[in-house]
Amino acid sequence: MISSMMENKKKRIVANKIESKKAARLSNYQDEFEYLTNAGVALEVSAITDVKFPLIESSTKNLLKLYLNDVGILTGVLYGSNISAVLNDVPSINLGAVYETVVAQELKAHGKKLFYYDNRHKGEVDFLIDDFDSLSVVPIEVKSGRDYRIHSAINNLLKTNENAKGIVLSNSPNVVQKGAVLYLPIYFTMFL
């Protein structure tokens, strides 16, 4: 079900959809989630509602996302053996789930703990990482479409801290700094 959860707007795990139980809670499935992450099948991304360094202090266990730990498996599940959707950047296909999975894998490979920001009023940011050099938090938004410069949730976060910097990863080949936001090609994730 991880790939189907990736296709919903919030991309987070909804407990009552796992077994169609109305009163289901994420805590009922904690052992299963831990098994998937410990086995290397999935990457767990914990929700943060109060953005402050270090992020682990603000982590909440009642909201989480799971990403497959292999973008090849994800694209196989989503598109079968037809990889033209990914290779040709087919406009009718939303590659957001694929891009986010790539970023989650790369951040985890570089030893980053994975968090995301979720706030009803300020929006949702795909990833938050600790910057241990500046003792701050870096919000990261992953965009698969042409409107990659629209990111109200990062803007809202950056307003609360004048020294904060945000990153937007997209399929644009250009590196651009605009105010506190750095726009990078998706493959630059390896340098974060």
**pLDDT value, residue 188:** 95
**Nearest CA to 138 among 169, 172, 173?**
169
Report the chain's mean pLDDT, rounded to a whole number: 82
* CB contact at 8 A, 175 and 158: no
Interval 68-110: pLDDT, tens: 898 888 888 888 877 777 777 677 677 888 899 999 999 999 9
Record the tokens describing residue 84, joined without a space: 């033209």
Q: Other C-beta atoms within 10 Å of 11: how many?
A: 19
* CB contact at 8 A, 155 and 124: no
**pLDDT value, residue 19:** 63
Q: How far apart are CA 10 and CA 155, in angstroms?
A: 18
**pLDDT value, residue 157:** 84
Interval 123-172: pLDDT, tens: 889 999 999 988 889 999 999 877 888 888 898 888 877 778 999 999 88
Domain parsing of the chain, residue ranges = 2-191
